[in-house]
Structure 1
Amino acid sequence: MRVLLRVLLILLIALPLLALGALALALQGQPQVVAGPQIGPDDIARARTLLQRHDPRRSAPGVQRAIALTPRDIELLIGQAGSHYAPDGQARARVSLKAGQARVQTSLALPRSLPAPLGGRWLNVDLQLADTSALPEVQSLHLGRLPVPGWLAERALPRLLEAVGLQAQGDLAQRIVSRVQFSDAMAVVAFAWPARLRDTMASTLLQPDEQERLRVYVERLAAVAPARGADRRVALSALMPTMFSLARQRAGDGPDAVRENRAALLALALVANPGALHELVPASRRWAPVRPMTVLLRGRTDTPLHFLVSAVLALEGSGPLSDAIGLYKEVSDSRGGSGFSFNDLAADRAGTRLGLRARQDARALQQALAAPLRDDDLLPDVSDLPEDMPEREFVRRFGGLQGAPYREMLARIEQRLDQLPLLKR
């Protein structure tokens, strides 16, 4: 019994010390990936082309398909996914490919709100993968200076995905992807869409508890929607206090303020975009129906969509992604759509700022948005900004995306946004 007690005492002392030592080895003071690629309109255009080419709505279930990803594609995907877990937006990746092998290096910053353990704020990951007849296998893994055997990394992966809330996504990826092959220039991913993908994706992207949280906010919108026969036009600034009073009440002093903000903004974005709610969340057909309404921001119907979609994307993890999507849309419009619009771009930037604050300063934003609002609180007057410009006119007047006049116009937009207390950086 004495020996057993001594062993237990040694373990009680040794295990925390071992854990502390592992943490000291894993976390470092500097990132190993100094800078990752910056997402831009061309990247969004490429992603859109790939999505259109492999649209599951136009593909028979079970049919094998393949998609070729460049190192840049993978770096951007990792950077965007990693930024969801780096509230300061500091997630970087570097990918090297050669025949049969891939090396993936990432640097993820701990939130600035957390103390830096043992002087290290960066988690640097160095992963070596090798081809197999199916999914790649881990050859080696280093977390900072801490080596992790490949077999241990593979066994730990399911628990890691579960810990960060990505178990369902990992399971779905394993169902869809059958093989990955590496060459010097690209990674070829073989996959097949499963049957009933829409329902599967909905349950994967929004877990049951998240769908239930979203339902609460959608049904709040159903309760405040204009009555039949009434004017269906509703200002976004009138809906925000209702939604965020509810978010503040539900979050209380608990840890779910960011999740409540996400659900509130997502409900607004889906309801403001007719048909989107039932398309993306099939279970919503069983919820209290929301009477049709036209959501306005500064008297326009397109502006709230720009604002809300950018806010949701930024809250999900990356302001640069929502900025790039907004910029891509304007470039695309200038090439045959409604034309390039700095007005829309300003709404994108305003939404991005709000979404980032909804994640980084969740409770303070709830309090601010729960108070009575005006359109001026969400978006400054940008009606004087140029819009509806074909590409030739946009290039002539502003020098394209690299022109000095274009950058000056962006700076003017940022200055106007800085004047709003809700959006001030």
Structure 2
Amino acid sequence: MSDAQRRPGRLRAALRMGLKGIVWLTLALAAAALLALTLAVQQSPRWPEPTAVSAADVARARDFLHRNDPRRPAFGPFRTLIASEREANLMLDQLVRRVAPGGSAQLMLAGGSARLQASLPVPHSPVAAWLNIAATLHETPGLPAIADLRVGRLPVPAWLAERLLPALAARLNATPEGALALDMVRRVRLTPARVEVVYEWGDDGLQRLLGTLLPPAEQARLTAYAQALSGAMQAHVSAGGSTGLPLANLLPPLFTLASQRSVGGDAVAENRAALLTLALQAIGRRMSDLVPAIQAAPQPPHLTMTLAGREDFAQHFLISAALALEGGGPLADAIGVYKETVDLRQGSGFSFNDIAADRAGARLGLLARRDPQALQQRLARGARESDFMPDVADLPEFLGRKEFLATYGGLDAPPYRRMLADIDRRLDALPLLR
């Protein structure tokens, strides 16, 4: 047989071998990907539960904000934000709550480096699935670099970890917050006791920050709720209503609007805007303070928003609701306790009925995130105060420091815990907050 006659046969054999090679390579790559996925994804979180926020932490956060206020006078455009390890972990915890609800993260500082541990739930997984991440960060003249990275039982080579950073930066740059941070931050210093973030704060820093926190779409959303609130309050005045306007009368029109705007949209964002609008009104602030475009719109009349006939209950309830939706119930509870401990030392005294209003609002805020459209539909149909606020007329209030300590022993004592358990039982019985 001549070479010309043998050539087609050799070609077919080569093609079969090449095809087999492609098939085996594909199978090998698929097996490698499956193995990597099996090693990376685990059935349970490895790291501790999210950081518990206490009233002392709230005081610490207030001091942190005062120390690091970028509006304070400084020489030159550069500022340095300084956070202790505890403060850094509180901020990290709130970030994780926003981007990966249920997850946790911890930062452990050392000289020139830090160890980051995080457990993040895999979104939309039909079974329990977690990414347990451990990374070592090293200080550089700019942003920290990843020295080593492990996801579950899968070690990630340093060269691959470094290549992931540009991709992460690109994703951050795609968000307004990330783009602002990447543009402003110049260096991160890591010491055993604290994190120092050097950033540039120009003359337009505050305007840029507000523009990031409230992009045009969010400003338009808040404007819609400010106008709805103004209309509802004006209707109350036109109907001859009193200067005290019950919160239960304002929830239906605002959450009717939220339900309408949520069709094909973001129901949680609509609930956030509704609660923020109500909370600002309750404490005597106007949405126009945050959104200048609203200044040209009709302003709501000067009315007092009440809950159970009291202005302070409406304030406690709505601020806690907005905080819980944004940062989780424990944060709202801790801020409520902090406020009462401040009153205990220098104000009107400790009031358990204020705590009840705080915890009721926190439950509503969590429901606004957990089941946003169901809450919208329920409130749009109308709600009585007794649906979301328990009877607290019998709870002690205006307790002085000596009386509070003598009767309840402090924030960790059993008598105080029993009072909180009683408040929670009352909240459990409310139709809207079950």
Taking structure 2 as the reference length, what is the TM-score of the superposition? Answer: 0.86
TM-superposed deviation, 1:11? 10
Q: Which residue of 1 aligns with 2:63?
A: 49
Q: Is the 8 A contact 1:37 1:72 kept in 2?
A: no
What percent identity do the matched residue pairs reach?
45
Which letter does structure 2 place at the counterpart of 1:375? E
Distance 2:219 2:32 in 1: 40
Partner residue of 1:266 out of 267, 271, 276: 276
Distance 1:276 1:336 in 2: 28
Is structure 2 residue 142 aligned with structure 1 residue 122? no
Is structure 2 residue 117 aligned with structure 1 residue 69? no
Distance 2:330 2:90 in 1: 11
Q: Within 5 A, what are the aligned runs for 1:188-337? A: 188-226=196-234, 231-252=242-263, 254=264, 256-337=266-347
Distance 1:208 1:18 in 2: 45
Is structure 2 residue 155 aligned with structure 1 residue 155? no
Local SS of the residue matching 1:402: coil
Partner residue of 2:189 out of 181, 185, 191: 181
TM-superposed deviation, 1:47? 0.8
Distance 1:245 1:262 in 2: 14
Q: Which residue of 2 aligns with 1:80?
A: 94
Distance 2:302 2:24 in 1: 66
Cα deviation 1:84-119 (Å, max 9, x = unaligned): 2344xx2222222211111111112346x7412xxx
Distance 1:330 1:140 in 2: 45
Distance 2:304 2:34 in 1: 55
Partner residue of 1:401 out of 411, 416, 423: 411
Q: Is the 8 A contact 2:84 2:195 kept in 1?
A: yes
Distance 1:399 1:226 in 2: 47
Partner residue of 2:399 out of 389, 394, 397: 389
Cα 1:11–1:273 shift into 2, 3 Å:
farther
Cα 1:389–1:31 shift into 2, 3 Å:
same
Partner residue of 1:410 out of 415, 420, 430: 420
Is structure 2 residue 384 aligned with structure 1 residue 374? yes
TM-superposed deviation, 1:26? 3.2
- Which protein has the larger Cα radius of gyration, Structure 1 or Structure 2? 2
TM-superposed deviation, 1:130? 1.1
TM-superposed deviation, 1:40? 0.5
Which letter does structure 2 place at the counterpart of 1:153? L
Distance 1:311 1:397 in 2: 29
Partner residue of 1:35 out of 49, 65, 73: 49
Distance 2:69 2:166 in 1: 33
- Range with bigger deviation, 278-287 or 35-44: 278-287
Local SS of the residue matching 1:188: strand
Cα 1:341–1:140 shift into 2, 3 Å:
same
Is structure 2 residue 123 aligned with structure 1 residue 103? no
Cα 1:110–1:295 shift into 2, 3 Å:
farther
Is structure 2 residue 432 aligned with structure 1 residue 422? yes
TM-superposed deviation, 1:200? 2.0
Q: Is the 8 A contact 2:94 2:327 kept in 1?
A: yes
TM-superposed deviation, 1:202? 2.1
Local SS of the residue matching 2:119: strand
TM-superposed deviation, 1:324? 1.0
Unaligned runs of 5+ in 2: 1-14
TM-superposed deviation, 1:279? 2.8
TM-superposed deviation, 1:157? 1.3
Cα 1:14–1:263 shift into 2, 3 Å:
farther
Q: Is the 8 A contact 1:96 1:103 kept in 2?
A: yes
TM-superposed deviation, 1:15? 8.5
Q: Is the 8 A contact 1:270 1:277 kept in 2?
A: yes
Distance 1:344 1:307 in 2: 9
Local SS of the residue matching 2:411: helix
Q: Is the 8 A contact 2:258 2:274 kept in 1?
A: yes
Is structure 2 residue 360 aligned with structure 1 residue 346? no
TM-superposed deviation, 1:10? 9.9
Local SS of the residue matching 1:46: helix
Distance 1:15 1:240 in 2: 56
Q: Is the 8 A contact 1:377 1:420 kept in 2?
A: yes
Cα 1:25–1:54 shift into 2, 3 Å:
same
Q: Is the 8 A contact 2:324 2:331 kept in 1?
A: yes
Q: Which residue of 1 aligns with 2:7?
A: none
Cα 1:282–1:337 shift into 2, 3 Å:
farther
Distance 2:170 2:162 in 1: 14
TM-superposed deviation, 1:152? 1.9
TM-superposed deviation, 1:45? 0.5
TM-superposed deviation, 1:180? 1.6
- Range with bigger deviation, 267-276 or 143-152: 143-152
Distance 1:162 1:123 in 2: 23
Unaligned runs of 5+ in 1: none
TM-superposed deviation, 1:238? 0.6
Cα deviation 1:104-144 (Å, max 9, x = unaligned): 11112346x7412xxx5212222221111222222233333
Cα 1:380–1:56 shift into 2, 3 Å:
same
Q: Which residue of 1 aligns with 2:3?
A: none
Distance 1:307 1:272 in 2: 10
TM-superposed deviation, 1:270? 2.0
Number of residue-to-residue matches in the alignment:
412
Distance 2:53 2:218 in 1: 28
TM-superposed deviation, 1:368? 1.1
The root-mean-square deviation of aligned C-alpha atoms, in Å, is: 2.9
- Range with bigger deviation, 64-73 or 303-312: 64-73
Cα deviation 1:10-36 (Å, max 9, x = unaligned): 999999887666544432112121334
Q: Is the 8 A contact 1:336 1:390 kept in 2?
A: no
